A and B are shown apart, each in its own frame.
Chain A
Amino acid sequence: MTVAPRGLRTIEAGRAARRTLAERPELVLLGLLVALFVATNLYGSGQITGGQVTTTLLTAAPLAILAAGQTLVMITAGIDLSVATTATAAAYVMSERSSQGDAQAVIVGLALGLVIGLVNGVGVGIFRVNALIMTLGMSGVTLGGLDVYAESTNAPPAVPSAIHSLGTNTVLGGYVPVSLFLWLPLAVVIVLGLRSSGFGRMIYAVGDNPVACRLAGIRVWQVQVAVYTLCGLLAALAGILLAGVNNAADLGLANDLLLPAIAAVVIGGTSIFGGTGGYVGTALGALILTVLDNLLTLANASQAVRQIIYGAIILLLAWIYARVSESS
């Protein structure tokens, strides 16, 4: 702001607000989250308790982890439309295999996510397939494969009790959900990793300008393969956690979470063109969507109304971000 023509204060204030939004979208999102949370709980029960915070954190954890992988992919200017089916597949396979030991079941589930992510990464990074198509196709393959698998097994899926308690239990006087001990370290690693590690910087660089990256000696395809693989792994983790929260795994477990996962990333301020954004915004976005979902449930909104409001909010926030980033 080098020149202040005629010192118009309102314009100054508007610019300052815009700049705050552009540089620290997390603050605005946090304010939105708190306001929405207070409104929801006052509307629902007329009071605000610590237990409501705990419940929100418990329900938001799977979505937040699912959106974590999506964030990484979208920072590289890609998109992964297979996260929801990967999560479902991992959770279902894990539940089917729980009779062979919990640890083995979880490992198999995670490995499945890793493999799906790797295939996506190879397609996008090495064969240069459009990310949208590659991941949509993989999601179709996963869904069909899962149906085949479900028909070939006859044991009913059972969620391991350890996973169930991971998804629902709380400690320290019932206020701290156990899943926070999974989610929080993961969030810290992702946030710090993106901010400070060489690989994290490369993810941003690849999203911002892949050509410049290649010329600078970065192997863009390696970054892409790594990011999609990570995304698959995180999606599997989210699916397993969701199975724990619901204490059940069926063939449609996480399929409704695809659009919320993308919405959380977009609300969090990560551009679909890549190069900007981060996980703090995404986590806040996931929490906002969870609270919003509670509010709509309390208001007895039908699935139809819910989807319309979801769509409108994504569009509105994306529009605000677009305007802010244009002016700055």
Chain B
Amino acid sequence: MSTAPKDTRAVGSAAAGTGAAAALPPPGAPSLVHRLGRYVRRQAWVTGAWVLLALILILGVATHPTGFSSFDVQTLVLGSAPLAFAAMAQSVVVISGGIDLSVGAAISVFNVASARLMETASFPQAIGISFALMVGGLLLGSMNGILVVVTRVPDIVVTLATSFVLSGIALLILGSPGGGAPLEYGNLVLGSVGTDWVPEGLVVIAAVLVLVWLPLRLSRPGLALYAIGSNRSAAFLSGVRVARTRVLSYAMAGFFAALGGLALTATTANGNPVAGSIYTLQSFAAVVLGGVLLSGGRGGLVGPVVAAFVLTQITSQLSYWQVEPNWAQVIQGAIVVGVVLIGGMAILLRGRRR
């Protein structure tokens, strides 16, 4: 990693050169090759996640008991979709220097809410409900953010408290697993585009990244997210509206959590008041594996999404090898800890180098 312009361009580097470079012109425009090299260096962790995904897929193809088919790709996307959205939700908050322990509970709320509302709905109605719930997600997330900003209680405590409240609300909406969704709604994730190898779920995830995250990241509020995560006081002194930006980060988390809940409804055609709870831990695993620094200010959303696929595929891989599901849980937990351990050491080394 080059050392010279690092500190002065900490914020610009977080936005990986594109739109932010226009906002913060670097001293002397770098050549394309230079830029590419810098991108790979800065995105080393994300590149690593891609490589890991490729490796595990190759492993899957090589050791699959009945032959790796498009069906396995569909299973992978199906299993990953809720986690991918959970990872996006956690990433936005972590990038801006916060933490959200209520992601899982929020996913449960939107899962049961959508499953209950869509049970007798037609497909167009279901789409309408989805958009209404996405707005609901924004509002719910903003509430989290406003509580964090107004009460000045540590975000861990606030989101822990709201996770209680949200899991209570999920139970109020649907006391036991039930509800449903129109068949076409499930096909939003289950169906395929063109060939069987490109499931629609993948397209949906990519569309969210391109249509929601990319414009945000290139805009001023998006840059502010990175700024307050990187150095909150410096961001404040530079005129960034810290409180407003923190609320924005939680609002986006709520929005992505709503998508996660909807994805869960689409993939399972069912509402379960506790289905979301596992995603809190897994979202952290995906965030860390995806190259977002837990201390904030660095990373993106693509890495965590790739990491979500890796984590899901690990589970499938273990079942190819007929590892007992309980052992699979142990292995997954160990992988999470191991990944964070390596990540922690990387941060430590970086800290020493500074």
Contact = CB atoms under 8 A, between A and B. Distances in A.
A138 B333 contact: yes
Interface in A108-156: 123, 127-130, 132-134, 136-145, 147-148, 151
Interface in B216-268: none
Given A134-B337, A326-B152, A311 B345 contact: no
Interface in A185-211: none
Interface string A157-193: 0000000000000000000000000000000000000
Interface string A72-110: 000000010000000000000000000000000000000
Contacts of A266: 157
A172 B153 CA distance: 44
B324 A137 contact: no
Instruction: Tell me whether chain A's interface is mostly helix, strand or loop, or mixed.
Output: helix
A45 interface: no
A144 B151 contact: no
Interface string A32-69: 00000000000000000000000000000000000000
A262 interface: yes
A222 interface: no
B168 A318 contact: no
Contacts of B344: 127-130
Given A143-B329, A315-B162, A322 B324 contact: no
Interface residues of A, number: 46
A272 B329 contact: no
B93 to A, nearest CB: 13
Interface stretch (A232-240, A287-295, A301-309): A301-309
A259 interface: yes
Most central of B166, B331, B337 by chain A CB within 10 Å: B337
Interface in B328-344: 328-334, 336-337, 340-341, 344
Most central of B156, B288, B329 by chain A CB within 10 Å: B329
Contacts of B168: 303-308, 310-311
A113 to B, nearest CB: 17
A312 interface: yes
B129 interface: no
B147 A315 contact: yes
Instruction: Tell me whether chain B's interface is mostly helix, strand or loop, or mixed.
Output: helix
Nearest to B150: A319
B341 A144 contact: no
Contacts of B334: 137, 141
Given A272-B157, A314-B160, A137 B281 contact: yes
Contacts of A312: 161, 165
Contacts of B172: 302, 304-305, 308
Contacts of B340: 129-130, 133-134, 137
Contact of B326 (A147, A310, A315): A147
B333 A311 contact: no
A311 B162 contact: yes
A307 B109 CA distance: 14
Contact of B341 (A129, A139, A310, A314): A129
B284 A148 contact: no
B288 A133 contact: yes
B171 A303 contact: yes
Contacts of B329: 140-141, 143-144, 147
A138 to B, nearest CB: 7
A262 to B, nearest CB: 7
A311 B164 contact: yes
B171 A138 contact: no
A179 B82 CA distance: 45
B167 interface: yes
A307 B337 contact: no
Nearest to A133: B340
Contacts of B347: 128
Contacts of A142: 333
Contacts of B163: 311
B337 A314 contact: no
Interface string A267-310: 00001110000000000000000000000000000111111101
A134 B343 CA distance: 12
Interface in B108-164: 147, 151-154, 156-158, 160-164
A52 B331 CA distance: 46
Contacts of A272: 154, 156-157
Nearest to A309: B168
Most central of B166, B171, B280, B328 by chain A CB within 10 Å: B171
A310 B167 CA distance: 11
Contact of A127 (B99, B175, B333, B345): B345
A259 B164 contact: yes
Contacts of A134: 337, 340
Interface in B311-354: 324, 326-334, 336-337, 340-341, 344-345, 347-348
Most central of A139, A266, A315 by chain B CB within 10 Å: A315
A275 to B, nearest CB: 13
A272 B168 CA distance: 24
B169 interface: yes
B112 to A, nearest CB: 11
B92 interface: no
A219 to B, nearest CB: 16
B189 interface: no
B77 interface: no
Contacts of B154: 271-273, 318
Given A303-B171, A305-B168, A129 B337 contact: yes
B330 A314 contact: no
10 contacts: A127-B345, A128-B347, A129-B337, A133-B336, A137-B340, A140-B336, A141-B329, A303-B171, A308-B172, A311-B161
Given A303-B171, A311-B161, A318-B157, 7 more contacts: A127-B345, A137-B336, A302-B172, A308-B165, A308-B172, A310-B164, A322-B152
Interface of B: 99, 147, 151-154, 156-158, 160-172, 175, 280-281, 284-285, 288, 294, 324, 326-334, 336-337, 340-341, 344-345, 347-348
Q: Which 7 A-B pairs have the closest CB atoms?
A: A311-B164, A144-B329, A140-B333, A307-B168, A304-B171, A137-B337, A141-B333
